């Protein structure tokens, strides 16, 4: 009986959680979206495709490089190549470098840099630190709040991926 109830209630609870997480994210960072994830919320333990959106350069200067530091717990990271960009993987870092000046990303445009991997079973937030290199200057999106996940007030926030429990079975594993 209880398990039936749980099963019936779960999808609604889950949906509400997702909506709440989304609302939080968009309210908090929409105005300040510098480098952002297409899907900023994901389920613990799932495979995840991180689509990092870069929507401007460095004070007008075009972007010529993006380096993503793979967050601990993000397993088997695999980048998607981009035409016109050279891909290098070095330790815990993935870098896309524009192969010529013509391939640089102008400040007025946006583009996406994609990698995939497995998410940890823990419903802890993951932070992707992203170094944006431009023809002139660079933006190191690497600041993490000392508490919680609100990035308001940070000038160069790292990119947040909120991870929510994958369900009652998952929650069972998190009794502290
Ligand atoms: Cu910005």
* Residues 76-119: tens digit of each pLDDT: 999 999 999 999 999 899 999 999 999 999 999 999 999 999 99
Distance 161 CA to ligand 1 centre (A): 17
> pTM of the full predicted structure?
0.78
Distance 2 CA to ligand 1 centre (A): 48
Task: Name the one residue in this structure whose structure tokens are 């109830």.
Answer: 5
Q: Checking DSSP bridges between strand 35-37 and strand 63-69, what pairing results, if any? A: unpaired
* Residues 123-144: tens digit of each pLDDT: 999 999 999 999 999 999 999 9
Distance 56 CA to ligand 1 centre (A): 6
For the chain, list the domains and their CATH numbers: 30-172 (2.60.40.2230)
Where is 163: in which H helix or E strand?
strand 159-164
- Model confidence at 166: pLDDT above 50: yes
* Residues 10-27: tens digit of each pLDDT: 455 554 454 444 444 443
Distance 10 CA to ligand 1 centre (A): 37
């Amino acid at each position: 009986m209880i398990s039936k109830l749980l099963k019936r209630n779960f999808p609604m609870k889950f949906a509400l959680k997702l909506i709440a997480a989304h609302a939080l994210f968009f309210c908090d960072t929409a105005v300040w979206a510098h480098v952002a994830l297409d899907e900023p919320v994901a389920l613990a333990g799932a495979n995840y495709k991180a689509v990092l959106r870069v929507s401007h350069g460095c004070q007008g200067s075009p972007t010529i490089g993006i380096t993503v530091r793979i967050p601990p717990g993000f397993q088997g990271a695999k980048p998607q190549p981009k035409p016109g960009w050279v891909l290098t993987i070095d330790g815990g870092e993935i870098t896309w470098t524009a192969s010529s000046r013509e391939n640089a990303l102008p400040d007025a445009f946006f583009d996406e840099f994609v990698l995939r991997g497995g998410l940890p079973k823990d419903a802890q937030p993951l932070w992707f630190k992203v170094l944006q290199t431009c023809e002139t200057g660079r933006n190191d999106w690497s600041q993490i709040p000392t508490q919680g996940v609100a990035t308001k007030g940070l000038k160069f926030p790292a990119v947040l991926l909120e991870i929510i429990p994958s369900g009652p079975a998952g929650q069972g594993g998190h009794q502290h």
